[in-house]
Structure 1
Amino acid sequence: MAIDPNFDQNRERVGEENGVTVWGPVDEPEQLGIHGTHVAVDYDICIADGACLENCPVDVFTWVDTPGHPASEEKVEPTRESQCIDCMLCVDICPVDAIDVDASRK
């Protein structure tokens, strides 16, 4: 199952972590929601293979610990999503379709 491209309409904004918007539902540690808005990562399906972090030409992503999450113990956070150049490489390279980039959500 891929990230919902309309999450900003279908989910409630529940807060922020490290300056990044979090969209619910969140029930830690099993359910962590979607992090980011312009560049969004669905933490519930992210397997943390790191391809997006390693290949992003403008270093949008950083690692964050997510202990106890069933998919992985860490996730990639779009910490610097404002730097995104909309190249869509992260979207194309994610093996589980956990990332969405939408210029209209800047």
Structure 2
Amino acid sequence: MGIDPNFRTSRPVVGDHSGHKVYGPVETPSKLGIHGTIVAVDFDICNADGSCITACPVAVFQWFDTPGHPVSEKKADPVNEQACIFCMACVNVCPVAAIDVKPP
């Protein structure tokens, strides 16, 4: 199914994590929401494949531990989303379509 492309308007901002917004719902550890606005990762479908981390030429992502999450116990967190050059490499390689990139 992939990340909801309308999450920026259809989901509430429920917090902040490592300098980026978190869109709900969040019910730790089973629901972790969508992290980021410019580069957004749906933590609920991210399977920790790691291809986005390898593909990104400007190091937008870092691993973040999410113990107890039913899909994977770590996620690619867009901690450096401001550095994004909009090459879309991460979007193109994500096997579960968990990433959405939108310029500010």
Aligned runs of 1:48-63 on 2, under 5 Å? Answer: 48-63=48-63
Please give the secondary structure, in 2, of the residue aligned with 1:52: helix
Please give the secondary structure, in 1, of the residue aligned with 2:72: coil
Alpha-carbon distance, 1:20 to partner: 1.6
Identity of matched residues, %: 60
Alpha-carbon distance, 1:55 to partner: 1.2
Equivalent position of 2:93 in the other structure:
93
Structure 2: give runs of 5+ residues left out of the alignment: none
Equivalent position of 1:45 in the other structure:
45
TM-score by length of 1: 0.96
1-side partners of 2:15 and 2:67: how far apart? 19
* Number of equivalent positions: 104
C-alpha RMSD of the superposition:
0.5
Q: Letter of the 2:64 partner, please give it.
A: V
2-side partners of 1:17 and 1:57: how far apart? 22
1-side partners of 2:48 and 2:81: how far apart? 18
TM-score by length of 2: 0.98
2-side partners of 1:13 and 1:58: how far apart? 26
Alpha-carbon distance, 1:90 to partner: 0.3
Displaced runs of 4+ in structure 1, greater than 3 A?
none
Please give the secondary structure, in 2, of the residue aligned with 1:40: strand
Instruction: Write the deviation string for residues 3-32 of structure 1: whole angstroms up to 9, x where unpaired.
Output: 011101010000111112100000000000
Structure 1: give runs of 5+ residues left out of the alignment: none
Alpha-carbon distance, 1:83 to partner: 0.3
1-side partners of 2:9 and 2:24: how far apart? 11
Instruction: Write the deviation string for residues 39-96 of structure 1: whole angstroms up to 9, x where unpaired.
Output: 0000000000100001100010000000000000000000000000000010010000
2-side partners of 1:18 and 1:88: how far apart? 22
Please give the secondary structure, in 1, of the residue aligned with 2:75: strand
